[in-house]
Amino acid sequence: MTMRYSRRQMLKTAGAGALALTAGSALGRQAWAARESELNILCWEGYNSAQVLDPFRQSKSATVKAESLTNDPTMINRLRAGETNVWDLINVNNPWARKIMYPEKLIKPLDRAHFEPYFAKMLPEFKPPYRWAMSDDGKELLGMCQRFGPYSFVVNTDKVSRATAEDQGWDLWNDASNAGKYGVLESDDWNVFNICLISGFDPFRPHTDDEVTKFTDTAKRVFKGAKVVGDIATMNQALISGEINFHMTGGTYSASPARADGNANIRGVTPKKGPMPGGKGGVSWIEVTSTVNNPQLSPLATQFLEYVQDPKVAHTVAFAEGTFNPVAQMANPDCFKLFTKEELDAIQWDSLEEEMAASIEYDIVPDYDKLLDIMTAAKREASGG
């Protein structure tokens, strides 16, 4: 169908369009102005604490809201569902910015010239261009790194020595005599990794039918033999009380609160051997915080990324409410000197370097959904549900 317009109609339409454009621009300016004092952060626990946020709120006279979740895919699905209009920053583990969020246009690159020099001041493993902070083609800087750590399993060293745990590694769960002596942390994604490792194969590649069958058998056995299944507080209490001798998944992130309370016998352990490249058996995580592809991104987003690089704030982030962890900024002497001997012990600074070297960096499991369904069914069967 052809529509015909008179000159008068065209001028009227053009005028209305101009008015709409002007009104839209005004609304856009109003919205932008409103967002100059507003910041919304979707993150892992710690960045949502008053210790971290209040000084920033006060210095910027800003309204800063942060929501904490404990699952990367759930946070990313919130953006996919349209919440790119809500959030300004997203803080998730290392593979997601590079492999998922940037390709799906859920996040925006940072000004590389401005932010990359911060990486040069971080611990050596974060030397720029740091792989997990960069786009796949190596051109765009996708986020800033701060907290990190090894994350495999935790033992009560009064019951299982560190040396024994490191040597036996994932075979602790293959030893039938350990049934009823361990716990399983409610951390589905990491438990999928670990059941692959207990089964004897690399989690971070596609799996054969035979491996899936082995995964199924292992999942059933692991959950059937678990004394406790619960959250971090439950696991630490069960370790301290002697109800269990060790648990998976865990590491600095989960053990540090118990250690900070004086329980030095609760220790995250990284296996000395395993089925991953290089014979490694440990898995580590590194958080990357990115700016969301929000059409009205708050200018406070990049200011917050700079704020948490400050040595004092970085120390606050490391010991924010919840769990305690090393931060990449500890390479800066002004940051490192803020950590007390007790704090360094809580985050297992003595073995951090060797544990990170013995670990593979957390990655995406190609057939995760299939393995998760199998593991969930095994967990339900073991609980009688």
Tally of CA atoms within 13 A in the half-sphere of 361 that contains its CB = 13
Q: Which residues contact 383 (CB under 8 A, 6 or more apart)?
A: 223, 229
**Model confidence at 33, in pLDDT bands (50, 70, 90)?**
low
Q: Where does 150-282+363-383 sit in CATH, by number?
A: 3.40.190.10
Same fold yes or no, 35-148+286-341 and 150-282+363-383: yes
The more confidently predicted of residues 71 and 170 is 170
Whole-number average pLDDT of the chain: 92
* Continuous segment of H or E residues that includes residue 27: helix 7-35
pLDDT tens readout for residues 53-97? 999 999 999 999 999 988 899 999 999 999 999 999 999 999 999
**Average pLDDT of the segment spanning 335-349:** 98
pLDDT tens readout for residues 155-169? 999 999 999 999 999
**Model confidence at 357, in pLDDT bands (50, 70, 90)?**
very high
**Model confidence at 346, in pLDDT bands (50, 70, 90)?**
very high
Q: Hey, where are the domains in the chain?
A: 35-148+286-341, 150-282+363-383
The topology (CATH level 3) of 35-148+286-341 is D-Maltodextrin-Binding Protein; domain 2 (3.40.190)
| 157 within 8 A of 335, measured Cβ to Cβ | no
| 145 within 8 A of 361, measured Cβ to Cβ | no
pLDDT above 90: percentage of residues in the chain:
88
pLDDT tens readout for residues 214-245? 999 999 999 999 999 999 999 999 999 999 99
| 135 within 8 A of 102, measured Cβ to Cβ | yes
Angle ∠(272,230,160) on CA atoms, nearest 5: 35
